[in-house]
Amino acid sequence: MNTQQAAILRLACLLSVGFTVSGVALAQAPAAPVTTTATETAVGTAVGSGAEGFESGGVPASGQFQPGSLRLGDGNLVFTPMVTLGLGYNDNLTLAPTSAQSSSFISAAPSLVLSAQYGVSKYSLGYRAEAVHYNSYSDYDYENQEVAASGAHDLDTRFAFNWRASYQNQYDPVGSTDVSTSNKPDRYQASNFIAAGRYGAKEAQGNIEGEVGYYDKKYLNHRASTLGSDYASLNVVGRFLYRVGPKTQVLTEYRHTDFDYSLNTTNQDNTEQRLLVGTRWEATAATSGEFKVGYLSKDYNRVRKDFHGSTWEGGLKWQPLTYSTFGVTTGRGASDATGTTAQYITNSYVGLTWDHNWRSYFSTRVGLTLSDTTYVGGNREDRTNELMLGASYVVSRWSRVTGEYRYGKRNSDDNTYDYDRNLLTVKLDLAF
């Protein structure tokens, strides 16, 4: 059996397994800068996403694509299967500055959701997998899998909480981090638990929100280069919101995160604290957003240089028409410099999107992301830009075709990290 046949067999196996295992909507983690490992914190975006969220690529869902479900037992249990098949072309697999390796590829991503609602509580349990085979460089093939459970509980008008627990067995694509020295993807396993609660009615003068989370990540191969990237983090967040208008709240937020790395010789253990002030608003039905600015400190336990400086994060959504939405996101922060000689990394970015539903069955998205990454103490600064163009066509209630083109470019003070990449993908979503 040649490598391509073996890869196709793996895709088929994943598809067959996918339709015999129940699953939950699995929110994807934010993408890390392509030149360093991800330093995920335990608490991030909203916890527990219910049974939705399996959109392919970055293309907005069109109104007529409505995945069906099977109701089980007394009807409280709902089972939702879906699979996404894809093919594409990547002209720079390893993000190399010169002599780029290119290949066409095929992919399969089955996902399944088992959801239920009992009184004021909603639960989900699920499984998602993704397998990618590169026709010209099978060493770069990878298979990602995730299983998760989540719950959302509105106990009364004043108190609600959500939670989510997940386990991932996944790969870092070759070239996406500074850690690996192998020509095969780095494989890791990670477990994550997040819980978030709110006290106070949604329309009350004041609200208190709290979050707690734990994240543990361990690499499974290439241990000579990946051992220093194993870590665990514990995150606690407190937030107070005060209403100053019918649709506007001001807020104060404090976050405390402890990072504990398995290998002490990396000197990466640190405590991160953020104190933020900002506003959350829904000025009109067409405009909503949140913006926070404040102070960030990363205090390392050993010889590394500490970071103390400004931080911000925010997003704005403007919907001038019911079928057209503009979005802006921005942020600045600091992360650990695993895999490099830098003391730490600072990153700032801004992202712009435009989603438009031209017809009930046809929609498009345009996106642009600009980021600046500085390796403090490493004599390196990267400026990375990415353009995305996407379109989605609904064939029927249970099938949809999406196409996406991405162009990425990085200019670095160290030209060994420069790259240009064109990525073209076509996907077919199939639902029950």
Residue by residue, DSSP assigns 285-336 as: TTEEEEEEEEEEEEEESSSSPPEEEEEEEEEEEEEEETTEEEEEEEEEEEE-
The fraction of the chain above a pLDDT of 70, given in percent, is: 84
Q: What is the value of pTM for the model shown?
A: 0.82
What pLDDT is recorded for position 180? 63
- String of DSSP letters for 161-186: EEEEEEEEEEEEPTTSSSS--SSS-E
Q: Kind of pairing, strands 70-72 and 270-284?
A: unpaired
Residue found under tokens 């008008």: 157
- String of DSSP letters for 359-384: ETTEEEEEEEEEEEEEEETTTEEEEE
CATH at 402: 2.40.160
Query: 50-59, 280-289, 344-353, 374-383 — which is least confidently predicted?
Result: 50-59
Residues 381-420: tens digit of each pLDDT: 999 999 999 999 999 989 999 999 999 999 999 998 999 9
Phi, psi dihedral angles at 419 (to 5 degrees): -160, 160
Q: How confident is the model at residue 63 (pLDDT cuts 50, 70, 90)?
A: low
| Overall domain count for the chain | 1
Residues 19-47: tens digit of each pLDDT: 332 222 233 333 333 333 333 333 333 33
DSSP letter at 102?
-
Query: Alpha-carbon distance 341 to 402, whole Å?
Result: 41
Average pLDDT for residues 255-271, to the nearest whole number? 91
Task: State the residue range of the domain holding 405.
Answer: 3-431
CB atoms within 10 A of CB 31: 10
Average pLDDT, rounded, for the chain: 84
Examine the pLDDT at 250 and tell me if it is beyond 80: yes
The partner residues of 421 in beta bridges, in order of sequence, read: 408
Query: Alpha-carbon distance 10 to 14, whole Å?
Result: 6
Angle 295-40-267 from CA coordinates, rounded to 5° = 80
What pLDDT is recorded for position 46? 32
Residues 191-231: tens digit of each pLDDT: 999 999 999 988 899 999 999 999 999 999 988 888 889 99
Query: Alpha-carbon distance 132 to 173, whole Å?
Result: 10
Residues 278-324: tens digit of each pLDDT: 999 986 768 899 999 999 999 998 788 999 999 999 999 999 998 99
Q: Is 251 left (phi over 0), alpha (psi -120 to 50) or beta?
A: beta
Query: 55-64, 96-105, 367-376 — which is least confidently predicted?
Result: 55-64
Instruction: Look up residue 418 and give its two tokens.
Output: 């420069």
- String of DSSP letters for 332-349: EEEE--TTSSSSEEEEEE
Average pLDDT for residues 87-98, to the nearest whole number? 94
What pLDDT is recorded for position 274? 97
User: Kind and range of the H or E element at 224?
Assistant: helix 223-226
Which residues lie below 8 Å from residue 357, measured CB to CB, with a gap of 6+?
Answer: 60, 62, 63, 323, 324, 363
The partner residues of 208 in beta bridges, in order of sequence, read: 199, 240
The partner residues of 115 in beta bridges, in order of sequence, read: 78, 124
Residues 123-181: tens digit of each pLDDT: 999 999 999 999 999 999 999 999 999 999 998 889 999 999 999 999 988 777 777 66
